[in-house]
Structure 1
Amino acid sequence: MAVRITDTCISCGACIDECPVEAIVDDSDNPTDAEIYYVYEDKCVECVGHHASPACMVACPTEGCIILVR
């Protein structure tokens, strides 16, 4: 399980700063070449053991930008 960043991302960087496991990279490091931030699903822990909710989702100013993938 992980979170995913959608194309509504405004590249503000709030999620990168909050990720405790450094699973999020900016658009210049996105392996899909999309111009949005990217979450490495194999690294994302949904902040279990770190926070009550995924920290990136809490920090993101764009509603619906970061979604849970199950």
Structure 2
Amino acid sequence: MAIIITDECINCGACEPECPNTAIYEGADDWRYKDGTSLKGKVILPDGTEVDADDAQTPISDEVYYIVPGKCTECKGFHDEPQCAAVCPVDCCVPDDNHVEDEETLLNRQAFLHGE
């Protein structure tokens, strides 16, 4: 399952540089599939949706840092535990019950995002 940042976030930014997929963004900031990945131009996502990886996407949160579920791999393929949760001083990086995924799905996403 992906990780979510709860409203208890204090906007310290400790999590953002730890994400190997660049799936974490500051509140109100646009995000892109290409950020921190090997994706560029038109791509077909694992769910069949076609997007332009270079296009800015609407922020998921305007108030606190947020994690893009389609880019989050819980650090599978990079680390043994989600690095955002490991560094968060207020423990607000938690499993997202709305995006429950098995390890195979997360590893496949990691391979997709990084062209492996």
When normalised by structure 2's length, the TM-score is 0.56
* Number of residue pairs aligned between Structure 1 and Structure 2: 69
Query: After TM superposition, which residue ranges in structure 1, 4 or more long, deviate above 6 angstroms?
Result: none
Q: Structure 2: where are the runs of 5+ without partners? A: 31-58, 101-116
User: Structure 1 residue 43 and structure 2 residue 67: aligned?
Assistant: no
Which residue of structure 2 lines up, in the alignment, with residue 67 of structure 1? 94
Greater shift in the superposed pair: 53-62 or 22-31: 22-31
Equivalent position amino acid for 1:8 in 2: E
When normalised by structure 1's length, the TM-score is 0.89
Q: Give 1 or 2 for the bigger CA radius of gyration.
A: 2
Which residue of structure 2 lines up, in the alignment, with residue 28 of structure 1? 28
Deviation at 1:17, TM superposition (A): 1.1
SS at match of 1:29: coil
Deviation at 1:33, TM superposition (A): 4.4
Between 1 and 2, higher relative CO (CA 8 Å, sep ≥ 6) is seen in: 1
Distance 1:32 1:48, change over 3 A: closer
Equivalent position amino acid for 1:58 in 2: A
Which residue of structure 2 lines up, in the alignment, with residue 55 of structure 1? 83
Tell me how far apart the structure 2 counterparts of residues 50 and 14 of structure 1 sit (CA, whole Å).
18
- In percent, how many aligned pairs have the same letter? 46
